[in-house]
């Protein structure tokens, strides 16, 4: 048998093309600017799901614009930002300036995952920088309702993330306030961890309880061996790092991941 050609016909074709985006916008007459913005983001994500979200933490920072163009050409719809402060988690990454810089050069959805202490102090700056989606860790904001509502009121989808070691009882009272729930499959802020299958149980439970009303996201150890199980459990948004950026051909890597979603 010959080698399998993973370069699928849809590679490089975004599910939500420019015409779709215009149609979404035209269908939002009568809404406030903030409601229109959040509704447009949600429609894009719903149409794209299940979809791969490249974690820019793994990209080539010496030429960010080139990286974004390569991802766009490969059909990516959403960019994922892992923001770490060196306090809530031990690692330190980037902040608002990177989000703002990429907002200027792309219309892709910008998904910001805040792994920081006191996120309410900084949420407005990320909103102003151009974030379309912000997830806050329930461990950092045990009473998150006000922050979630304030974020959503400004046209940004808001949600909560939870670490594998955190009891779901901390999250469950607030799930109906979320646009997005991120089930971490590794402990936030630590590299080199294996995929924790507890995330699959949580995704499945949340999908059963919430139906399609909330977008479910998974982050950590997602690759061609785990992505199919994540989709079957209910994940809509699948954050991928080395499984994409570790390959020279992004289109080929994404095609393999998309094929694995269906296996």
Token pair of 201, please?
Answer: 């149980």
Query: In sequence order, which ranges of the chain are alpha helices (DSSP H)?
Result: 18-26, 33-48, 64-73, 96-103, 123-129, 145-153, 198-210, 227-233, 242-245, 250-261
DSSP state of 105: T
Q: How many CB atoms lie within 10 A of CB 139?
A: 18
Contact status, residue 178 vs residue 142, Cβ threshold 8 Å? no
Catalytic residue among 82, 85, 132, 236: 82
Residue 82 is among the residues annotated as catalytic for this protein: yes
DSSP 116-165: -SSGGGTHHHHHHHT-SEEEEETTT-SS-HHHHHHHHHTT-EEEEEE-TT
DSSP state of 86: S
d(CA 42, CA 31): 14
Catalytic residue among 132, 179, 219, 236: 219
Closest to 251 measured CA to CA, from 46, 20, 2, 54: 54
Contact status, residue 185 vs residue 201, Cβ threshold 8 Å? no
d(CA 132, CA 180): 12
d(CA 263, CA 249): 22
Contact status, residue 129 vs residue 96, Cβ threshold 8 Å? yes
Residue 219 is among the residues annotated as catalytic for this protein: yes
CA 248 distance to own-chain centroid = 22
Known catalytic residues? Answer: 82, 219
């Amino acid at each position: 048998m010959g080698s399998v050609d993973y370069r699928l016909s849809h590679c490089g074709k975004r599910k939500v093309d420019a015409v779709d985006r215009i149609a979404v916008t035209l269908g939002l007459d009568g809404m406030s600017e903030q409601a229109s913005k959040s509704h447009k983001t949600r429609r894009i994500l719903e149409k794209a799901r299940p979809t791969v979200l490249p974690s820019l933490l793994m990209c080539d920072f010496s030429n960010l614009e080139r990286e974004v163009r390569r991802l766009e050409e490969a059909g990516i719809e959403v960019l994922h930002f892992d923001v770490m402060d060196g306090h809530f988690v031990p690692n330190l990454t980037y902040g608002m300036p990177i989000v703002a810089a990429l907002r200027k050069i792309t219309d892709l959805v910008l998904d910001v995952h805040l792994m920081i202490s006191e996120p309410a102090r900084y949420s407005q700056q990320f909103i102003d920088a151009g974030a379309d989606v912000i997830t806050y860790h329930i461990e950092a904001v045990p009473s998150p309702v006000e922050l979630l509502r304030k974020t959503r009121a400004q046209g940004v989808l808001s949600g909560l993330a939870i670490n594998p070691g955190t009891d779901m009882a901390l999250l469950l009272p607030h799930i109906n306030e979320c646009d997005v729930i991120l089930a971490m499959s590794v402990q936030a802020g630590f590299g080199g961890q294996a995929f924790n299958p507890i995330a699959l149980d949580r995704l499945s439970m949340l999908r059963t309880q919430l139906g399609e009303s909330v977008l479910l996201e998974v982050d950590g150890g997602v690759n061609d061996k785990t992505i199919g199980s994540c989709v079957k459990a209910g994940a809509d948004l699948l954050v991928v790092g080395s499984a994409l950026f570790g390959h020279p051909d992004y289109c080929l890597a994404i095609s393999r991941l998309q094929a694995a979603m269906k296996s």
